[in-house]
Amino acid sequence: MVTLNVTGMTCGGCAATVEKLIKREDAAAKVTVDLASGRVEADTGVPAETLIKAIEAAGFGASAG
């Protein structure tokens, strides 16, 4: 399980984008995005650093949480 803090999400579309970015790295990942808190949990074996890079490349801020 990877837990991230993502900044810059302002709407449901942003949350869906972050989920899609994670699923690009691992199509089988189970992703939960809490828009209000910016907390993202992904049940995946992909390292947090890889997910952070993908999310930041899309214009969001991200850190391990």
Domain spans in the chain, listed from the N-terminal domain onward: 2-64
Beta carbons of 41 and 3 less than 8 angstroms apart: yes
Per-residue model confidence as pLDDT tens digits over 11-29: 999 999 999 999 999 999 9
Instruction: Return mean pLDDT, the chain.
Output: 97
Average pLDDT on 21-38 reads 97
The hierarchical CATH code for the domain 2-64 is 3.30.70.100
Whether residue 49 has pLDDT greater than 90? yes
What is the spatial distance between Cα 50 and Cα 57, in angstroms, rounded to a whole number?
A: 11
Q: Is the pTM for the entire model greater than 0.85?
A: yes
Beta carbons of 15 and 54 less than 8 angstroms apart: no
